[in-house]
Structure 1
Amino acid sequence: MMADNQAIGLSPCATPGTLCVLGIDLGTTSVKAALVIETEQGQIVAQSCSRETQAQADSLAAGAQGMEQDVQRIIKALNECLAAFPREHLQRVSRIGISGQMHGVVFWKTNQGCKWAKSGTGHTFQPGEVSHLITWQDGRCSSSFLSSLPQPQSHLSLATGFGCTTIYWYLKNSPDFLKPYDAAGTIHDYVVAMLCDLERPLMSVQNAASWGYFNSRSKSWNTEILRESGFPLDLLPEVGDPGDIAGRMSHDWHGIPKGTEVGIALGDFQCSVYSCMTERTDAVLNISTSAQLTVPMPLGFQPPETPDSLSAVAYFPYFDGYEVLESNVYTQMINAALAQNDTRLSICPTVFGERHMPEQLASVTSITASDLSLGHVTRALCHGIIQNLHSMLPFQHLKEAGVKRILGSGSALSKNEVLKQEVEKIFPFPVIYGKDVDAAVGAAMVMLHRR
């Protein structure tokens, strides 16, 4: 099991009026917690801890197409993270911000979703009547199934792994599965509901947009469209704005005092961007397991009312309005040599396709015997990754949006000089590296900035 635990002294927390906020991110493979404090010099990360969840579980209903995780293991990793913090530090926490993997869905039964118990570090909770988490990576909703669903009144096209499309899949293929449950949300919505003992889940517009069938202009579900098709409306959470307080802790938790404010659950993508974007003229390029190029939209921007299934650009609710565009590409990264400055070899790296073009799979063209060395292949792969991002969000569009620099982050980018060279060739902006994104820190910062 991977563990990462770093700490510095917390004496600034003793200063009257200083905020100490706990940020939590429930990621696809790990859970991370960060204790952030506000000082006269700004925000500092006082302590952080991460644990791999090892939560992958078999899907009995969807088979090999299903991607599910055991919620018990996710909460176990979360409890282990918090247990690693000194109790006296957690006792100073005044707010909690929580983010997590978007799009996915977990089901539970109200008032039976968890069980609280005393432990050596205070109270902890364990999942009760809770389903597996069906993750954003889930592939059970085929293109033909998605095309059979009613057209949403939303700017985002439907995709497999979205909460509402997964619920539709169960309605058609396994309706009995839904009968024991009367609540649903993302995994981070579930944790917020359990901490605050909410009678009904509360979801931010960030997570609601990621579920499908949500109108971001009116901040409301497509209830009429859903009702006409027999969708179980009682499973839809109530919706609030990012930064709102969802409730207060119903128990002390690992020493965090009962009554501590808990923010409405946020999207991990938005929190990652929030953790490093300091100017509205910044663009954020993150390359790790996936790649995203993100820029803020002008104040007052509203997304289209209907989805464009062919568009490579997706708009996601940010903070204080609609501000983020995002392009995704899922790719495998390899370390490469720097000996090859150029190559005729051409690699399209979209191994998993794109949401707007799932049929666009990876390909290699212009193959010659002289271009098959590791240097050529590495250079072509790195060029293909950046060129694919540029094809979806070109330099000219960034310039028109007022971008003046790019903040480069992600382990794949920071460790690969070839990728950096290709970024600087294709995007002629100043590029600042080392601005690593951190959704847990971002979630904490959102709550620190709330007044």
Structure 2
Amino acid sequence: MSGLYFMGIDLGTTSVKISIVLNGEQVSSVSQPTKADTKSNVGSAGFEQDVAIILSTVQSCMKELSPETLSSVKKICITGQMHGVMLWSSKHLNNFYSQENNSFDVQHTSPLYTWQDQRCSEEFLTSLPKPCSHLPLSTGHGNATLFWLSQHQPDYLARFDRAGTIMDFLICILCGLDSPIMSKQLAASWGYFDSSAGCWNKEILEQKSFPFHLLPRVVNPGEQAGTLQFDWFRIKKRTAVLVALGDTQCAVYSVLSNPDEAVLNLGTSCQMAFPEFLETVPTFPEASSPIQFFPYFNNQYLAVAASLNGGNVLSQFVNMVQNWIGVFGCVKSKEDIWKTLLESSSTTNKNESALIKVHPTIFGERHAPTQYGEVSGITASNMDLHSVFHALCKGLIENITRMVSPSYLKQKGVRKLLGTGSVIHKNPIIQREVMTQYGDIVVELGRQCDSAFGAALFCEAMDS
């Protein structure tokens, strides 16, 4: 069995997952939460994570896999949270991993500034030069964060000579790379990247004294970044490691099997995505468009409508209910509230609840940042808890249909919609609304996006 397995590793925002596949089937997987969030020196605007904790979680996951399975791994592909950036010094590279103890010893790096980071205000972003890219620049994007650090913490930034995603950093350690190598998928997520030309906006960045020397070399997805420089548990030295990929692309890749399919993934947030060939890539983004195009695989782009409002809105509603009943001295766990809401959904008066209209965009949207939530159509008889909850669930799906309508999908050749994600899996109201509102398209529920599995599948495809 030696040399037959392919490993995908996902360094997600809240967890690490490892998937091992053989002939397109998952033969082993393990996942653990990271709990890596750490306090930021810019207060609530900063979203940072401890790199050492994340890599320690990788090791913990590796320990759960059987030595026999690991000894048969032929190739590795790492994916993870896009947009984020971290910094390190190349002079410490050989000290980041202890072969003697088989453990990471990560010191002298910056934290991971994640995609959720809010330190770049609209005023700050407006002050930056306009990118030559078809993707807009937002706070939390790697190059926006580097711009902020160069202007607000230049002495701190000067301590480092390398930058990359945490996936790129892990690959540098495993492969002994002096400088990081980044895929086009991740480079595009940082901003100031010309996807058509396949290069950074060097001249534009240097106008504002941007630390261009920090940026990684960029290559196509599927290219080999290097080989293991040591035996990693039972995975053999010189095992090939591919350049890191975006988690959104890998998640979609894990479930799509035909070119006429699209994915609706509803978890903490919500994404509608489908692959598309673009004859020409726009030079500049269409700011008001809810759909963006990210580099995918095989010279395709992934059309993505990414809503900031998903399961997080429902969780906020449950928190509100818990706080309200707490005012009266009643104690109910969130689990009990969820159970009551979901079990009693079938008893809701549909005629009355239909009158309520909820626009659930309480977290805004990237294409409409000043858009807030609204509730209308309230009557004396439809303010019961279940009617409001039903209207909220319906509003979440209506929000995504406004971003990507069924007619738009059909125009793009989409014939089947795959509903995935924890919210769709657990919530029967959401399931019904997806089936109803996208009724003109075949809807299939039940599959689960898995970035680690997608990375492993792509890894195996590149070997065939």
- Shared fold per TM-score greater than 0.5: yes
User: Aligned partners of 2:355 and 2:423: how far apart in 1?
Assistant: 23
Q: Write the letter of the residue equivalent to 2:10.
A: D
Alignment of 1:86-101 (within 5 A): 86-101=66-81
Which of residues 64, 72, 78 in structure 1 aligns to 2:52?
Answer: 72
1:69 to partner: Cα distance = 0.3
- Kept in 2, the 8 Å contact 1:301–1:322? The answer is no
- TM-score normalised by length of structure 1: 0.92
2:318 is aligned to none
1:368 to partner: Cα distance = 2.4
1:338 and 2:350 aligned: no
1:323 and 2:315 aligned: no
User: Aligned partners of 1:29 and 1:369: how far apart in 2?
Assistant: 42
1:435 and 2:413 aligned: no
1:425 to partner: Cα distance = 1.7
Q: Write the letter of the residue equivalent to 1:163.
A: G
- The DSSP-based 3-state class of the residue aligned with 2:209 is coil
User: Aligned partners of 1:302 and 1:293: how far apart in 2?
Assistant: 22
1:119 to partner: Cα distance = 5.5
User: Aligned partners of 2:272 and 2:278: how far apart in 1?
Assistant: 21
1:33 and 2:45 aligned: no
- The DSSP-based 3-state class of the residue aligned with 2:96 is strand
Q: Deviations over 1:367-412 (max 9, x none)?
A: 2232221221122111111111111111111001100110111010
Name which of structure 1's ranges 316-325 and 62-71 shifts more when overlaid on structure 2.
Answer: 316-325
User: Aligned partners of 1:396 and 1:257: how far apart in 2?
Assistant: 51
User: Aligned partners of 2:163 and 2:47: how far apart in 1?
Assistant: 17
1:229 to partner: Cα distance = 1.2
1:164 and 2:146 aligned: no
User: Aligned partners of 1:380 and 1:309: how far apart in 2?
Assistant: 29
User: Aligned partners of 1:125 and 1:256: how far apart in 2?
Assistant: 16
User: Aligned partners of 1:423 and 1:301: how far apart in 2?
Assistant: 31
User: Aligned partners of 1:326 and 1:449: how far apart in 2?
Assistant: 23
1:236 to partner: Cα distance = 0.7
1:201 is aligned to 180
1:149 and 2:128 aligned: yes
Gapped regions of structure 1 (runs ≥ 5):
1-12
1:300 to partner: Cα distance = 4.6
Which of residues 17, 24, 33 in structure 2 aligns to 1:52?
Answer: 33
- TM-score normalised by length of structure 2: 0.90
- Kept in 2, the 8 Å contact 1:138–1:160? The answer is yes
User: Aligned partners of 1:33 and 1:166: how far apart in 2?
Assistant: 29
User: Aligned partners of 1:398 and 1:221: how far apart in 2?
Assistant: 32
User: Aligned partners of 2:399 and 2:233: how far apart in 1?
Assistant: 45
- Kept in 2, the 8 Å contact 1:338–1:375? The answer is no
1:130 to partner: Cα distance = 1.2
1:24 and 2:24 aligned: no
Q: Write the letter of the residue equivalent to 1:353.
A: G
Which of residues 222, 229, 236 in structure 2 aligns to 1:250?
Answer: 229
1:425 and 2:440 aligned: no
1:175 to partner: Cα distance = 1.0
User: Aligned partners of 2:87 and 2:382: how far apart in 1?
Assistant: 51
Alignment of 1:287-326 (within 5 A): 287-297=266-276, 299-326=277-304
- Kept in 1, the 8 Å contact 2:255–2:449? The answer is yes
Name which of structure 1's ranges 320-329 and 250-259 shifts more when overlaid on structure 2.
Answer: 320-329
User: Aligned partners of 2:223 and 2:104: how far apart in 1?
Assistant: 23
Which of residues 138, 159, 162 in structure 2 aligns to 1:180?
Answer: 159
- The DSSP-based 3-state class of the residue aligned with 1:246 is strand
| Cα RMSD after superposing both structures | 1.4
Q: Deviations over 1:99-140 (max 9, x none)?
A: 0000010101114145222357xx333323211000000011
1:361 to partner: Cα distance = 2.1
- Kept in 2, the 8 Å contact 1:35–1:48? The answer is yes
User: Aligned partners of 2:68 and 2:364: how far apart in 1?
Assistant: 48
User: Aligned partners of 1:369 and 1:264: how far apart in 2?
Assistant: 59
Which of residues 364, 367, 372 in structure 2 aligns to 1:361?
Answer: 372
1:322 to partner: Cα distance = 3.0
- The DSSP-based 3-state class of the residue aligned with 2:131 is coil
- Kept in 1, the 8 Å contact 2:97–2:173? The answer is no
User: Aligned partners of 1:374 and 1:380: how far apart in 2?
Assistant: 10
User: Aligned partners of 1:53 and 1:301: how far apart in 2?
Assistant: 41
Q: Which has the higher helix share?
A: 2
User: Aligned partners of 1:379 and 1:348: how far apart in 2?
Assistant: 12
Judged with a 3 Å threshold, the aligned counterparts in structure 2 of structure 1 residues 161 and 171 are, in CA distance, closer, same or farther, namely same
User: Aligned partners of 1:165 and 1:421: how far apart in 2?
Assistant: 40
Which of residues 78, 84, 87 in structure 2 aligns to 1:107?
Answer: 87
Q: Write the letter of the residue equivalent to 1:450.
A: M
1:301 to partner: Cα distance = 3.5
- Kept in 2, the 8 Å contact 1:75–1:126? The answer is no
Which of residues 382, 392, 402 in structure 2 aligns to 1:371?
Answer: 382
- The DSSP-based 3-state class of the residue aligned with 2:135 is coil
Q: Write the letter of the residue equivalent to 2:404.
A: L
Q: Write the letter of the residue equivalent to 1:32.
A: K
Q: Write the letter of the residue equivalent to 2:4.
A: L
- Kept in 2, the 8 Å contact 1:19–1:448? The answer is no
- The DSSP-based 3-state class of the residue aligned with 2:314 is coil
User: Aligned partners of 1:305 and 1:322: how far apart in 2?
Assistant: 17
1:238 to partner: Cα distance = 0.4
1:10 is aligned to none
Which of residues 64, 78, 83 in structure 2 aligns to 1:84?
Answer: 64
2:197 is aligned to 218
Q: Deviations over 1:282-309 (max 9, x none)?
A: 0101101111111221x35333110122
- Kept in 1, the 8 Å contact 2:56–2:104? The answer is no
1:232 is aligned to 211
- The DSSP-based 3-state class of the residue aligned with 2:73 is coil
Name which of structure 1's ranges 209-218 and 357-366 shifts more when overlaid on structure 2.
Answer: 357-366
Alignment of 1:131-142 (within 5 A): 131-142=110-121
Identity of aligned residues (%): 40
2:462 is aligned to 450
Q: Write the letter of the residue equivalent to 2:294.
A: F
Q: Write the letter of the residue equivalent to 1:408.
A: G
Alignment of 1:339-418 (within 5 A): 339-340=347-348, 341=350, 342-418=353-429
Tell me the matched-pair count.
Answer: 428
Gapped regions of structure 2 (runs ≥ 5):
316-337
